[in-house]
Structure 1
Amino acid sequence: MAQETRLLKQSALMMLMVAVVGIVVGVWTGSEAILFDGMFSLIATLIKLLMVLTARLIKKEYSRRFQFGFWHLEPMVLTTEGVFIGVIALYALLNGVQGLLQGGTSVEFGGAILYALLFTFINFSYYFYVKKRNQRVQSTLVSFDNISWFVDALLALGLLISFTVAFLLTKTDYAWLAPYVDPALLVVIALAMLPSVAKILRPSLKDMLRVAPIELNALVEKTMDMMVGKHNIIDYHSYCQNDGRISIVEINILMGVLEGIKLEELDAMREEIQSGLGMDTEDLWLTVSFTRDRKWLN
């Protein structure tokens, strides 16, 4: 958890630097695409700060008012990130189309190329650094947070290629095309961001809407079907959902006649179920109840 929070804080500070430089250079060079990159980075910084707060709350596990913990905040923050990126992409798309219709924009290509070259290197370097660090941390928040660095790296690379091409065009008979590069690039960037939006929103919305995870549900049913064959189990009902990094599983078991069974034996069945699921207690909220009355299955 400490490493997760440290990585998120570091990421927020780095992204704030990228945002400030991007906004300043965007205004200086007159490039809407660079200005957009800076604004995207600024929004990403705010989201990262929310992730830091969320990571701290999750570390507390529960409080008097939130007795089931704070894990539900994780998909909420990720959904917020996806929505913000989607709104920014839509704004960029509209601005790009407007720029094309109005005859393009004049850009100071020297400063723009230098900016794009520098931040292509910085963004890709930091993305791969965090990806490697997260192989040990195994944080969902860090993983989705790192998507913003990959998106920003692609933005910078796109800027570098496009501005270089536009600069070369100014030395040819096709110099009239150069002003159209910046708004056209804005349109391409906006469209390229949409898959990242979907990648963030799809799992987080599923968690928020309490959609049962197919793989986890299948694993629970497989484990319970094996238990039925070994113990005096007549029937069972199971319920599964993901809540951020926590998998919540509730199983109600209808037992047959059990003469002289001890609580230790029921606890042993719980342990067997958890072992069958192959999940640590830190990642699993498991509730198993035993009954002789079928009405308690539902």
Structure 2
Amino acid sequence: MLNTLALEKKLLTLSVIGALGFALIGIVWGIISSSQMIFFDGIYSFISVILSMFSLFMAQFITKSDTKRFPYGKEVLEPIAIIVKYTVILILCIIAVVSAIQAILSGGRDISLGFALLYSFISTIGCWLVYVLLNKRKAASGFIMAEANQWKMDTLLSAAVLLGFLIAYFISYTPYAAFISYVDPLMVLLVMGYFLKVPIVEMLKAFREVLDMAPSQFIQKNLKEVTDNIQTHYQIDESILRISKAGNMLFIEIDFILNKESKIKTVADQDKVREEISEQTKNLNYKKWLTVSFTNNKKWAGKVIV
């Protein structure tokens, strides 16, 4: 647990430093080359710094125990933080699209191709290296996964910039050189077409967690198999399984409805079942809040007791 938290803090700190470096380079280089695409890349990286620092703060806050105010832990704050993060990115993407359309309608924008090509090459390689590093550890927490997605978007943005400027470079030696001024805003529109999808999809996932909805089918299937095996082995009449996910925490509630033939007779038998469930769900790489109840009357396993 401590190793995971230390890794999360280390990777989020790396993301902050990397984003700050690219932000400063992008903003300055964008102004020098007169490229809105590069300038946007720098602004995006600068906002990434703020968002990464926000993620780092939230990750540290969540790990601090406060059972009086948060009796079920603070993990639900993770999807809320992710929603905030992607909302900012979504707004930034919309602003970039509007600006690009305005540039196209006003006759495009002249750029310095030499500076633009050099920046886009350095940016693509640098962002890809950070993404690879974070992506290898994305299962450690939702924050690291969000950072990895953010750097993936940065890598694709930089790669699109590189491709666009290479095309513009070759066009400059053709009779169509007059169209070079449209390359920069067109690249913004093309890249944003993909960018707009990512924050929307990730926000929907986070909203599912905030609303306490069921997790992925893989998690549900795994836990259903474990529950069914226990039910069959101990001759249990029926079971009710409820699962939700918040951040890196799985909330698992299982109600077993016993009958006279059930092999569970004592508290020790009940604890044995709980231990078996814990062992059989170790392959799910999440923290778990496990509640296992036993009753002879199904009404005590209902949603609402009146």
Compute the TM-score of the two structures, normalised by the length of structure 1: 0.90
1:66 match: secondary structure: coil
Residue from 45, 49, 54 that aligns with 2:53: 49
Q: CA deviation at 1:221?
A: 2.7
1:212 match: secondary structure: coil
Q: Residue type matched to 1:102 in 2?
A: S
Distance (whole Å) between structure 2 residues aligned to residue 250 and residue 30 of structure 1: 58
Residue from 143, 146, 149 that aligns with 2:148: 146
User: Deviation string for 1:81-114 (max 9, x for gaps)?
Assistant: 2222222222222211221111101212222222
Pair 1:129–1:282, CA change in 2 (3 A) = closer
Q: For residues 61-72 of structure 1, what are the structure 2 equivalents within 5 Å?
A: 61-72=65-76
1:263 matched residue in structure 2: 267
Distance (whole Å) between structure 2 residues aligned to residue 219 and residue 176 of structure 1: 59
Residue from 187, 210, 232 that aligns with 2:189: 187
Residue from 16, 27, 31 that aligns with 2:31: 27
Residue from 247, 250, 268 that aligns with 2:250: 247
1:83 matched residue in structure 2: 87
Task: Point out the more displaced range, 19-28 or 191-200.
Answer: 191-200
Q: CA deviation at 1:282?
A: 5.9
Pair 1:255–1:26, CA change in 2 (3 A) = same
1:24 match: secondary structure: helix
Distance (whole Å) between structure 1 residues aligned to residue 166 and residue 16 of structure 2: 30
2:74 match: secondary structure: coil
1:104 matched residue in structure 2: 108
Q: CA deviation at 1:217?
A: 2.7
Q: Residue type matched to 1:31 in 2?
A: S
Q: CA deviation at 1:196?
A: 2.5
User: Deviation string for 1:43-101 (max 9, x for gaps)?
Assistant: 22222112111221232354421121111111112222222222222222221122111
Equivalenced residue count is 296
1:284 match: secondary structure: strand
**Which residues of structure 2 form unaligned runs of 5+?**
none
Pair 1:112–1:274, CA change in 2 (3 A) = same
Task: Point out the more displaced range, 29-38 or 230-239.
Answer: 230-239
Answer yes or no: is the 8 Å Cα contact 2:219–2:284 preserved in 1: no
Pair 1:239–1:61, CA change in 2 (3 A) = farther
Distance (whole Å) between structure 1 residues aligned to residue 114 and residue 229 of structure 2: 68
Distance (whole Å) between structure 1 residues aligned to residue 39 and residue 285 of structure 2: 46
Q: CA deviation at 1:150?
A: 1.6
Distance (whole Å) between structure 2 residues aligned to residue 86 and residue 165 of structure 1: 28
Answer yes or no: is the 8 Å Cα contact 2:113–2:165 preserved in 1: yes
Task: Point out the more displaced range, 13-22 or 73-82.
Answer: 73-82
Q: Residue type matched to 1:235 in 2?
A: E
Q: For residues 1-298 of structure 1, what are the structure 2 equivalents within 5 Å?
A: 1-132=5-136, 134=137, 138-213=140-215, 214-257=217-260, 261-279=265-283, 283-298=287-302
Task: Point out the more displaced range, 9-18 or 193-202.
Answer: 193-202
2:108 match: secondary structure: coil
Q: CA deviation at 1:145?
A: 0.7
Distance (whole Å) between structure 2 residues aligned to residue 293 and residue 129 of structure 1: 52
Task: Point out the more displaced range, 271-280 or 230-239.
Answer: 271-280
Task: Point out the more displaced range, 174-183 or 259-268.
Answer: 259-268
Answer yes or no: is the 8 Å Cα contact 1:62–1:68 preserved in 2: no
Q: CA deviation at 1:210?
A: 1.8
Answer yes or no: is the 8 Å Cα contact 1:236–1:251 preserved in 2: yes
1:233 match: secondary structure: coil
Q: Residue type matched to 1:38 in 2?
A: G
Distance (whole Å) between structure 1 residues aligned to residue 285 and residue 190 of structure 2: 45
Distance (whole Å) between structure 2 residues aligned to residue 152 and residue 218 of structure 1: 35
Q: CA deviation at 1:201?
A: 2.5
Distance (whole Å) between structure 1 residues aligned to residue 37 and residue 130 of structure 2: 21
Pair 1:276–1:42, CA change in 2 (3 A) = same
1:26 match: secondary structure: helix
Percentage of matched positions with identical amino acids: 26
1:242 match: secondary structure: strand
2:161 match: secondary structure: helix
Q: Residue type matched to 1:33 in 2?
A: M
Compute the TM-score of the two structures, normalised by the length of structure 2: 0.88
Answer yes or no: is the 8 Å Cα contact 1:23–1:34 preserved in 2: yes
Answer yes or no: is the 8 Å Cα contact 2:259–2:296 preserved in 1: yes
